Amino acid sequence: MKNNTPRIDVTLDTPNVLRTDGLCFLWIGRLFVLLLLFGAKSYAAQAELIVLSNQESSISLAGKYTWFEDESAALTIQDISSPAYSDRFVTGEKDNLNLGYTSSAIWLKFKIQDNSYDSRRWLLNLDYPLLDQIDIYQSMEDGRWSLQVMGDTLPFDERPILHRTFVTGLDLDGRHINTYYIRIITNSSMLIRPTLQSADSFFEYQSQLQVFFGVMYGFMLMMALYNAFLYLAVRDKTYLVYVVSVIAGGIFIASLNGHGYQFLWPESPGFANMAVPLTSSIWIIATALFSQLFIETKRYTPLFYKLINIMIGLGVIAVLLALFADYQTAIRFSTAMGLINGILILTTGVVSWYRGNRAARFFTLAWVVYGFGSTTLVLSRFGVIEDNFITHHSATLGLLVEIIMLSLALSDKYRVLSQQLEAYTHNLEQKVADRTRDLRKANKVLKQLSQLDALTDLPNRREFEHVFTDEWKRHYRSQEPLSLLICDIDEFKYLNDHFGHDKGDECLRKFAEVIKSSMNRTADHPSRIGGDEYAVVLPETDLAGAAKLADDICESIRKLGITHAPVASHDVVTASIGVASLIPEKESDSIKLFRKADKALYTAKHQGRDQAVIAE
């Protein structure tokens, strides 16, 4: 078959082709640069939407928030949320943002879509306790912004959640995307470590972390007390200076971790602001003095003895700056002094060891460990290296190891004294253990007594309120009916007035015995809530079951045949009972059930007494 397709012959002129290709490459290059610029602009302005779901309990914010540095520290939420600044935010690629020391205000922005559809509560944690001012803005449906203020310049009890770091619950609306802006300004290192966790996940993790801190502080306290006893026994001031250094170091670490503000000075924001530079400066002085005494610098290294004296003088200046200068000046000076002090003491230990001072072995190794930890912390605070769990707690871990090793060094130097004091320490520990055991037993007895009514041996009003509230919350979760009986001895005052208080007390005890014997389940909880009033909490019991039990109690009281006062309405003592039952609709609305039962009780009184009335 003949091919009818027309043939086209093309002849290329090589120079023209090169010129054309060159122009093409030029335009392609320009287009590529433009795409990069627009892409970078888009990348800087956008971050991934944070979507909460039932399957997650912790959300990494890496790549899901943007941030902007306001060098003037004067921009408002209206300024920063305007289109003029929308493309100036930079995406945060890591879980934390470490900018070192800066006077700028840092703005964070992120958006959350809540698709969890359950009752779990989500918490935002800015996991660095030394931030001065934190303003959290949340978008509202009417276009306005809600504001929550936190920071270590405010009293501790003003925090939404009383925690060593800055934690707040998120009021999320699943119907739309929730936009958040966070403005942070601080004189301390600008370290921002935002995390999103469900409340259960957060408190579970924090409980584990508290074990770590508890062991650390406990060990420091134990070392301080142990060496304080040694000082009292041998009167060697080396032990005393060691104790001061441990206490100062412990308080310094507590200040860094937020425990100082939480437990030691929660009502003193001013002192909280100076605590870190002040305690670190005191620690510098104490460690310098300890090094002079322990490795005998005047004997082995006279030059370093003089240099350490200068360091002690600089430490005193650091203390004065912490007390009277602004925070940033004080913290920068004390941080620099801490580095110099560590290097000087480490060098002193090495030289002393080299010159034959056997005691300098453990001392030098201890300062190698702490020097590494503190240097790591300082570099992370200045933003030189990445902040993570290890670097964040490097000084804490380094100090803990240093304390252990210095204690070993003291033991190595004063082994004989330790042997002499061993028996004394053992006896003291045994006394503490015995006293603690006795105290626990006494506390257990006191707790039981505080929960019982002395006359009837029934749980008292306080225990009733505790059980009633807990059962209400449990039934709110299970959506089972919770019933309540409120019982009252009819015209008890007449009985007391006519027969005397002994007869009245006997009646109260018999009434309590009837109620206790009427309980069919261990879960049922009778209580004496005051005077001649009793209450019975009936878990997972409907209204019919509660009413049947109330009628039985009324009948049993009547059958006791306790003679009543002549002026009473009945010949024998009777009871009136209010019966109510509800399936909880709100977790904190238990008073509603109590009021219904109480109202039914007074209805029974008005209808002639000696009966159980069901609440409407």
403-440 residue pLDDT tens: 888 877 777 777 644 565 676 777 777 887 888 888 88
Q: For the chain, first and last CA: distance in Å? A: 101
Look at residue 177 in the predicted model and tell me its pLDDT.
Answer: 87
Look at residue 330 in the predicted model and tell me its pLDDT.
Answer: 93
Look at residue 263 in the predicted model and tell me its pLDDT.
Answer: 92
Look at residue 140 in the predicted model and tell me its pLDDT.
Answer: 87
Query: At 80, is the pLDDT very low, low, confident or very high (cuts 50, 70, 90)?
Result: very high
Dist. CA 603–CA 610, nearest whole Å: 11
CATH of the domain at 84: 2.60.40.2380
Q: Do 404 and 334 share a structural domain? A: yes
Dist. CA 467–CA 538, nearest whole Å: 11
Q: Do 241 and 193 share a structural domain? A: no
Q: Do 580 and 492 share a structural domain? A: yes
The residues pairing with 526 across neighbouring beta strands, listed in sequence order, are 536
Q: To the nearest 5 percent, what fractions of the chain are helix, strand and coil?
A: 55, 15, 25
Mean pLDDT of 149-155: 93
Q: Which strands sit side by side in the sheet containing 525-530, from one edge to the other?
A: 525-530, 533-538, 482-489, 575-582, 611-614
CATH of the domain at 471: 3.30.70.270
Query: At 70, is the pLDDT very low, low, confident or very high (cuts 50, 70, 90)?
Result: very high
- Whether residue 36 is predicted with pLDDT greater than 50 in this model: the reply is no
The residues pairing with 109 across neighbouring beta strands, listed in sequence order, are 66, 181
Percent residues over pLDDT 90 in the chain: 37
Mean pLDDT of 168-180: 85
Give the lowest-confidence range in 213-217, 392-396, 510-514, 583-587.
392-396
Q: Do 244 and 196 share a structural domain? A: no
Look at residue 141 in the predicted model and tell me its pLDDT.
Answer: 82
In a domain? residue 438: no
Count Cβ neighbours within 10 Å for each residue of 587-614 and write b for 16 or more, e otherwise: eeebeebbebbbbbbebbbeeebbbbbb
Q: Do 382 and 333 share a structural domain? A: yes
Q: Do 87 and 154 share a structural domain? A: yes
Tens digit of each residue's pLDDT (9 = 90 or more) over 327-385? 889 988 998 898 898 889 889 989 988 887 777 788 888 888 877 777 787 676 565 77
Of 387, 532, 598, 610, catalytic: 532
Dist. CA 27–CA 550, nearest whole Å: 92
Look at residue 7 in the predicted model and tell me its pLDDT.
Answer: 32
In a domain? residue 36: no
- Which one has a higher pLDDT value, 55 or 521? 521
Tens digit of each residue's pLDDT (9 = 90 or more) over 88-135? 999 988 878 888 888 999 999 999 988 876 666 889 999 899 999 999
- Whether residue 23 is predicted with pLDDT greater than 60 in this model: the reply is no
Single-letter amino acid, residue 120? R
Of 176, 202, 228, the last residue of a domain is 202
Mean pLDDT of 587-613: 90
- Whether residue 469 is predicted with pLDDT greater than 60 in this model: the reply is yes
Q: Do 478 and 563 share a structural domain? A: yes
Measured on CA atoms in the order 50, 51, 53, 56, is the torsion positive or negative? negative
In a domain? residue 593: yes
Q: Do 282 and 144 share a structural domain? A: no
In a domain? residue 435: no
Query: At 168, is the pLDDT very low, low, confident or very high (cuts 50, 70, 90)?
Result: very high
Query: At 75, is the pLDDT very low, low, confident or very high (cuts 50, 70, 90)?
Result: very high
- Whether residue 441 is predicted with pLDDT greater than 70 in this model: the reply is yes
Look at residue 436 in the predicted model and tell me its pLDDT.
Answer: 81
- Whether residue 390 is predicted with pLDDT greater than 90 in this model: the reply is no
Mean pLDDT of 522-540: 91
In a domain? residue 335: yes
In a domain? residue 301: yes
Q: Do 546 and 398 share a structural domain? A: no
Look at residue 277 in the predicted model and tell me its pLDDT.
Answer: 93
Look at residue 596 in the predicted model and tell me its pLDDT.
Answer: 92
Measured on CA atoms in the order 315, 317, 318, 320, is the torsion positive or negative? positive
Look at residue 359 in the predicted model and tell me its pLDDT.
Answer: 75
In a domain? residue 439: no
Asked if 134 and 166 touch (Cβ cutoff 8 Å), the reply is: yes
Domain that holds residue 290: 236-413
Q: What is the mean pLDDT of the chain?
A: 83
Q: Do 155 and 273 share a structural domain? A: no
Q: Do 243 and 192 share a structural domain? A: no
Mean pLDDT of 561-583: 90
- Which one has a higher pLDDT value, 410 or 204? 204
Asked if 324 and 330 touch (Cβ cutoff 8 Å), the reply is: no
- Whether residue 147 is predicted with pLDDT greater than 90 in this model: the reply is yes
In a domain? residue 446: no
79 given a catalytic annotation: no
Number of domains in the chain: 3
Q: Do 477 and 592 share a structural domain? A: yes
